[in-house]
Every structure is written in structure tokens, then in C-alpha cells.
Amino acid sequence: MSTTYDAIVIGTGQAGPFLTQRLTGAGMKVAIIERKLFGGTCVNTGCIPTKTMVASAYAAHMVRRAGDFGVMTDGAARVDMKRVKSRKDAISEHSRSGVENWLRGMANCTVYQGHGRLESAQEVRVGPETLRADRIFINVGGRAMLPQMPGMEAVPYFTNSSIMDVDFLPRHLAIIGGGSIGLEFAQMYRRFGSEVTVIETGPHLARHEDEDVSTAIEGILEQEGVEVRLNATCIRLSRRGEEIAAHVDCVAGDREVSGSHVLLAAGRRPNTDDLGLEEAGVAVDEHGYIAVDDQLRTSVPGIWALGDCNGKGGFTHTAFNDAEIVAANLLDHDLRKVSDRIPAYALYIDPPLGRAGLTEKEIRRSGRPALIGRRPMTKVGRAVEKGETQGFMKIMVDAGTHEILGAAILGTGGDEAIHSILDVMYARAPYTVIQRAMHIHPTVSELIPTMLGELEPLGDEAGASR
């Protein structure tokens, strides 16, 4: 016996609930399945809890810097990790229950709790029940990738999920992986008071960024006392009494980093390994991501894949945008495509990095004639006034069309200010639109027109690391 729906949604992350609302709103009877925590990664172990903790870490940092602003505090800042955690838990829980209550109260929507598994192209098994629908939407997200190395089974380690339960201060946190997740935890725990070492295989942290951006990030973290080990691959973990030793393969520096705790932040993998994709005939790529076309249709008609599991994004905003694209195509006769979107994201160290479009190195590689403008945050009044002058911003434009190709703002307010550039990129307007606009003083954004007034030819590779 199976229950028939118009649509089945597997996963309640950043795409599933919104899509369910659109489908039920269009009169469809929808089943949505969640195996663990409503709201998925972003709400429970990703964006929301980490940014909540980044805010606590910023407060600790500002208390330590209070004297710089003429504010005198008596005694050193002390971070109460139990209170940091309970603030984080409360904010996550509010969001999680918001998603759950929203879905449970949604007309035409039935919520199932359990692991959903495809049994065919129209059937999904959840616990003892079989659900049937002509349309299935997979929004199963991803989880931390665990690098397989000797010693893993013998030592305790954290992932981005298990570290959410920490309510104490690790004496020394060794972080394996210098990408966005590792770096956010690195600065945060350093500010809480831990010693922190980041072990990164590549020659730079945040390795997808331009070298000038990565180098500035390294400087920001090192200035706060985070130890950064580059060109160092962790090959083995072992116990050293109370400590955990990470053995590294490196050309310089110690071959062993010992810490009281280890965080594995070496990437993510999709939750597609126990989903019955083979039973339904849904194709995946060599990393397990579900193969989709520009409208997020899988290899099987009637099955779509949205969010982190399709490998097309890796962010909350890309997952949500996936849901908008699918809903627009299915319900609105509005041909929206994944390829219409412009890459954009932020890295939430402090100061944050806001990014839009191509990197400088991608533009150089493409060979297209381009212009570049740069400005250090020391020349941004708002940053000077706030006493937050680390970082810089840069923008690249097409030398012929004057369209903006990409930008990076590593500096105070960079995660917000980048949107003034991003929106003009979506409008496909020339950069002169921003240059001629009157911006508000004093803001970070007001210096973008100034930077655009100082564009120079991008030049050859030699000029890249200025």
C-alpha cells in the first residue's frame, strides 16, 4: 500500500520548505520528509549557529580593544562558553522550530519524519510507509567530509556538527583545513581564548581566492595569534597523552602539531550515498553529486535535485535560489536557469570578505581585456572611524563593454557593501552607473565610485600580486 501525492520533497533544508510552500500554494498535495533536524545544515550546524558564535567572538575582541576607543574596562575579557553556546542554541532553535511549525501548519502539506529512500522513479520509502508521486524533489544537502587517514579511529575529533555541542574552551584547537569553515572557527576560537593552529595542504588559506585576498586573510588571522601552517598535509592522527598529534607532511616547520582538540574542516560531501538513486536510475558525478541540467532536472524525468546535493552551489542562497528556479519553471512559466546567476558569497571572518563574480585570476586566465581598481581599507573613512582598517577592496571591469566582471571587498561591512556591485552586475549595466551614483556618507560603499575612478589596465600576471 502506498500513499499518493502530487509531489514529494526529501529534506527540509534551504530549498525544500520554500518549494513546498510554492507547490502547495498551487494546489498540489505535497509530502515532505526530514530525517533529522528541521531547517538542515544552515539552521542547525552551519550559517546561523556559526554567525551567532562569530558575533560572540567579535564582542570578546571588541572588549579587548575597548581601550583603543577610549572605553576603559576593568580586568580582562572572560568568555563564558556555556553562555556562548546557549545563545547560539536559542537562536538556532528559534529558526528550527519556525521551519517545523511552518511546514506542519501548511495546508496540503504532510510532514514525515525519517530517512527517505527512493525505491523507484516515483516511489519513496520512509520508515514503514511508501509514498508515491510523479514529481520528486531531492534536497538532502551534505555533511562534513572526513579525510581518511591512519589514527582517525583512535582519537576524538570534531566536525562542524559535533563542535556545536562544545560548551568549554579547548586549550588548543588544531583545525585541519584552511577553507571558509575552518577559518571562521579558527578566528572565533582564538577570540574566545584558545590557541589555534590551522593546517592547510595548499600554499594559501581560502585557496579559491586571489593570492592578494588569501595573503591578507592570513595576515589578519596571524595578527590575532592564529598559527597558520601552509603547504602542510595532515597524514596521520595519534594520541600523545592528553594531547592529539596531527602528523604533517610539509617542506618547512614542525612535522607534528599537537592540540588538545582537533576540528576536521576538510570539505563537504553530498548526502547521496543512501538515497536509492540507483534504484530510480538517477545519475551522479564522480563525487556523488546528483547530475542536473540548467533547470535542476536530473537524468530521470520527474525528479529534480536542489541545494548542496547537486554540486551547483554550496551556499544557503544558492540552495534557496535553486528552489526559486524550479518553482518559476514549473509554476510560473518563467524560464529561470542556474547559469543566470552570478557567483556571490561571503567569508565570515572579521573583517568579512564579500565576493561577487569572477576572481582576478579567472579574468587573467580568460585573456579578456580588463581594468582593475583597488583601494585599501585604510583609505575608507568609515573603516578608519570604526578603527577597522584591515583589508582592501578591488573591482575588475571589462575594458570594452565596461560591465563589471568581479569584485572582492575584504573589510568592515564587506558582506553588505558587495551587494551594490552585485546588483549592477545583474542589471548588466556599465560600471559608470555606480561611479555616477551619489552614495551615502560615511559608508564603505561610498568609496566604490572613487575606486572606479582610478581604474588601470589589468596587465600581465606579474602585476597580479601587487
Ligand X SMILES: Cc1cc2nc3c(=O)[nH]c(=O)nc-3n(C[C@H](O)[C@H](O)[C@H](O)COP(=O)(O)OP(=O)(O)OC[C@H]3O[C@@H](n4cnc5c(N)ncnc54)[C@H](O)[C@@H]3O)c2cc1C
Residue number with CB closer to ligand X (185 or 392): 185
Which residue from 307, 311, 391, 413 is in contact with ligand X, where contact means CB under 6 A? 307
Cα–Cα dist 98/24, whole Å:
18
* 446 scored as a contact of ligand X (CB under 6 A): no
Q: Which among 328, 331, 322, 200 is positioned nearest to 265, based on CA atoms?
A: 200
Only segment of 92-100, 140-148, 207-215, 398-406 that touches ligand X (CB under 6 A):
140-148
Residue number with CB closer to ligand X (266 or 395): 266
What is the smallest separation between the CB atom of 233 and ligand X, expressed in angstroms? 22
Angle of helix 81-104 versus helix 16-25 axis, rounded to 10: 20
Cα–Cα dist 455/446, whole Å:
16
Residue type, 67: G
Which residue from 56, 258, 271, 412 is in contact with ligand X, where contact means CB under 6 A? 271
Q: Which among 9, 7, 8, 16 is positioned nearest to 40, based on CA atoms?
A: 16
Only segment of 31-39, 77-85, 398-406, 450-458 that touches ligand X (CB under 6 A):
31-39
Q: Which among 26, 9, 89, 46 is positioned nearest to 317, based on CA atoms?
A: 46
Residue number with CB closer to ligand X (56 or 271): 271
What residues between 308 and 327 interact with ligand X by CB under 6 A?
308, 314-317, 319
Residue number with CB closer to ligand X (41 or 187): 41
Q: Which among 269, 152, 153, 246 is positioned nearest to 200, based on CA atoms?
A: 246
Helix (H, G, I), strand (E, B) or coil at 72: coil
Q: How far is CA 450 from CA 216, 325, 369, 416, 431, in A?
A: 22, 36, 21, 18, 12
* 181 scored as a contact of ligand X (CB under 6 A): yes
Cell 501548511, residue located: 106
Grid coordinates belonging to 265: 574542516
What residues between 194 and 223 interact with ligand X by CB under 6 A?
none
Which residue from 18, 21, 28, 40 is in contact with ligand X, where contact means CB under 6 A? 40
* 15 scored as a contact of ligand X (CB under 6 A): yes
DSSP class of residue 13 equals S
Grid coordinates belonging to 285: 558525478
* 11 scored as a contact of ligand X (CB under 6 A): yes
Which residue from 19, 23, 140, 245 is in contact with ligand X, where contact means CB under 6 A? 140
What is the smallest separation between the CB atom of 407 and ligand X, expressed in angstroms? 18
Only segment of 10-18, 101-109, 211-219, 286-294 that touches ligand X (CB under 6 A):
10-18
Q: Which residues bind ligand X (CB under 6 A)?
A: 10-15, 33-37, 40-42, 45-47, 50-51, 115-116, 139-142, 160, 181, 271, 275, 307-308, 314-317, 319, 348
